[in-house]
Chains A and B, each alone.
Chain A
Amino acid sequence: MNWTRATRAWIERTVPMEDLLPDRLPAYVRSYVYYFGVLTLSSFLLLILSGVILAFAGPGWWHVSSTGHFFNSIHFWAVQAFFFFMVLHLWAQFFMAAWRGGRQANWVTGVLLFVVSILAAFTGFLSQQNFDSQWIALQGKDAFNALGVGSFFNLLNFGQMYGLHIFILPLVLAVLISVHLLLVRAKGVVPPIEDGSSKKVGQNGD
């Protein structure tokens, strides 16, 4: 068996290009609720962009430069925007029962994205090298130690937290976002709940 041919065939079968980037969509997506996802993605892109600038200049830059502080402010408020839109997106998908029709994996990757995002933000707070990170590290260590995680996830180890924040966790998020988007396109946007039908919400094919 040719693995390359098999992989190409699987991709073409799972997400053909016209499904990946469609120029026509079902009319029911014309609801403001559908903007929460793309606004979350946009906030993530802004986080990456501002984060790259902060990382390029080094973790001490924004404490001594007004330009650096401004980029930190952008990064700071982009986090708030990211979580604001993501939580709205999550609630909207819940109330749409968006796992219907074999879309359970979309829901699972979405929740995983939420959890990893919390870790990414947390390591960001710990990477600030100021009173905030000092306080959060010293308070938070007890919770991580109590759960047995503190042995290999040391909040007081700046190098570990910074590495996780600027590389490992964003990479995990980027991969999860890619899978999440591919799943949305592979299965199509979740259709309206057809009330009056005999099928129950949450069951496949609703």
Chain B
Amino acid sequence: MATESGTRHERSFRMVEADLIRELVVAFLAVTVLVVVVAALLSSPDERTFTAAQLAAKDPAALETTALQWLNGEDDIASYGPPYNHQTGSLQNLGFFAPQSWFGVTIPVDPARDFFLHPLERMRALDPALPSALKAWNDASPTRRGGWETAYGHALKVTGGARLTALRFSGPLPTLMKAYLSLARSGALEAIINADGRVYQTDFTDALLPLQGDPLQTKAGDEKLLGTQWGMMKEPGNYPGAVWLWFYTLLYQIPPYNTSSSGDLLAGLTVGVVTILLLLIPWIPGLRDIPRWVRIYRLIWKDHYARRD
């Protein structure tokens, strides 16, 4: 026999029989059946990671160009700024407001050293040509290295005799690049970049950052996953992604968010303000009155109003 229950306020209304436990069990079973059927029919995406081995096989010049940018400091990470280094290339700010610089360099990354020279240092015992090439590079002045980099960059753009001439002025770079491409093709590059003398490793910052540039952007663009393509809401292969981020994603399609060099900061602050407003709706006159104006509650409680009226 049902006992009287519900809070005092609830009990001031007409009461009906309820069974919350059964409702939860039925809802759980219904959701489970629905999800299992959809999972069986539609599966889920699982595209393998984009690797240096793939890039070295498909477009070795792209990997060499990227490596040159690490060496000459022109790549995005070399000039990024906090938390990776003290540069300002990707430092976002609104006037004096630059939270990116508040905590300084907490994840130090030196692309030339971490992505290129250290992996080759670790391979020196396996390639007889490497020790002398690395020594030549390390002993050279920055000006000399710059000259080699310029010549090698030229060699990547020309063919035939012009290429051979450019390579002759590239110092040890042809040897270093050849070894680097071999390492990349072997599939071991990411593991060697990440190797720091420990067996266990769960932080892949150094292994993932090298390929964040143009080749990965091109691949993502082909799959319509770029930020400007509403990519934050999508998954590879036309699966739905974080659809709930529609508002945040929308910001990246419109000015000033998609035109400002501090677009991420602007979008983050905007979403932060909107979230705080959402949180405080019960106390904000106007916002808290919207339900009464739109009167959708008349549909939700239509039986109640029909009985009352």
Contacts and interface: CB of A to CB of B under 8 A. Distances in A.
Nearest to A204: B282
B281 A77 contact: no
B4 A146 contact: no
A95 B294 contact: yes
B236 to A, nearest CB: 6
A26 B49 CA distance: 54
A146 B99 CA distance: 7
B106 interface: yes
Interface size class of B (residues with CB under 8 A): 35 or more
A192 B10 CA distance: 11
Contacts of B281: 94, 99, 107
B243 A83 contact: yes
B279 A19 contact: no
A115 interface: yes
Interface in B1-25: 2-11, 13-21, 23-24
Given A76-B39, A77-B39, A26 B288 contact: no
Contacts of B45: 76, 130, 132
Interface stretch (B58-66, B160-168, B173-181, B300-308): B300-308
Contact of A77 (B27, B38, B305): B38
Nearest to B286: A202
A137 B31 contact: no
A154 B203 contact: yes
A145 B6 contact: no
Nearest to B243: A83
A157 interface: yes
A73 B39 contact: yes
Contact of B204 (A77, A94, A111, A158): A158
Contacts of A75: 44
B242 interface: yes
B42 interface: yes
Contacts of A134: 49-50, 208, 216
A173 interface: no
A131 B203 contact: no
Contacts of A154: 107, 203, 205
Given A42-B31, A131-B236, A157-B202, 17 more contacts: A24-B15, A27-B13, A27-B304, A38-B24, A41-B24, A74-B35, A96-B301, A97-B291, A111-B278, A118-B245, A122-B242, A125-B241, A148-B99, A150-B107, A152-B106, A188-B8, A202-B285
